[in-house]
Amino acid sequence: MKRLLITGAAGGVGRVMRSRLAHLAETIRVSDVAPLGDAAANEECIQCDLGDADAVDALISGCDGIVHLGGVSVEDTFEKINNANIVGLYNLYEAARAHGMPRILFASSNHVVGYYRQDEYLGTDARPKPDGLYGVSKCFGEALASMYHDKFGQETALVRIGSCFERPTNHRMLATWLSYNDFVALVERVFAAPKLGCPVIWGVSANDTAWWDNSAARYLGWTPKDNSAKFRAELEQSVERPDQGSPHAIWQGGVFTQDPIYKEDKS
């Protein structure tokens, strides 16, 4: 590719992917509503509010591919989630449609199915059971991408990211962990595949503890290699197991199921 856009590049995963995906394009355009710091050798830095349609249109102009990590990534007020994850995503898809429909990797989330139990094994066809407004916004994102694919042919990988960190930090992440290496390999396959379509893909490594069946996405040729099991013994010694009656031990969404509906402070 000549130019790959990474939105949300000031966030936790975005900061890592700025350098780890640099080989995929001659120019990496990075964007966030937060400050991005200094540009690397092959980077363009553009600060952008996803809720600003004109700014998003300019952001996507000239891009061959989009890794969309941007938006609110935790439970928050509806106003914030709506601007970034709902209005912002609509702005992104309309801009993509206006600029040749570059292929998109959309960072969806495991929280679209957060109210399934941890003893349930899900395929990509499991009906959504979101665990909060954040999860609802990701359900909207998947539906929007599906519509743009069916109506206009816009290709999108709907990646339901589990927990993308350097290593798992709690017992739930033994099932949900996605290593940086496996995520990079997935991004590579998404943009290399001759035909993508609009698949749902579980963004999870090859962990021994498994809640999700990724067989429907095998055609992409992505085979995750890392396994959270290598961290199990250390976790058992350093992190206390959650009480078996707690949401962290019952629901796939963990503590997100405990979050309230946050209200905007109007004082």
Quote the pLDDT of residue 264: 86
Whole-model pTM over 0.85: yes
Q: Given pLDDT bands bounded at 50, 70 and 90, which one contains residue 267?
A: low
Quote the pLDDT of residue 266: 72
User: Does residue 134 have an active-site annotation?
Assistant: yes
Task: Provide the mean pLDDT of the chain.
Answer: 97
In the chain, what are the domains? 3-258 (3.40.50.720)
Contact indicator for 29, 44 with CB cutoff of 8 Å: yes
Active-site position among 93, 116, 134, 148: 134
Task: Report the candidate in 258, 74, 240 with the shortest Cα–Cα distance to residue 170.
Answer: 240
Question: pLDDT per residue over 141-190, tens digit each?
Answer: 999 999 999 999 999 999 999 999 999 999 999 999 999 999 999 999 99
Please check the confidence at residue 101 and state whether its pLDDT lies above 90. yes
**128-138 mean pLDDT:** 98
**31-39 mean pLDDT:** 96
Question: pLDDT per residue over 178-226, tens digit each?
Answer: 999 999 999 999 999 999 999 999 999 999 999 999 999 999 999 999 9
**259-267 mean pLDDT:** 86
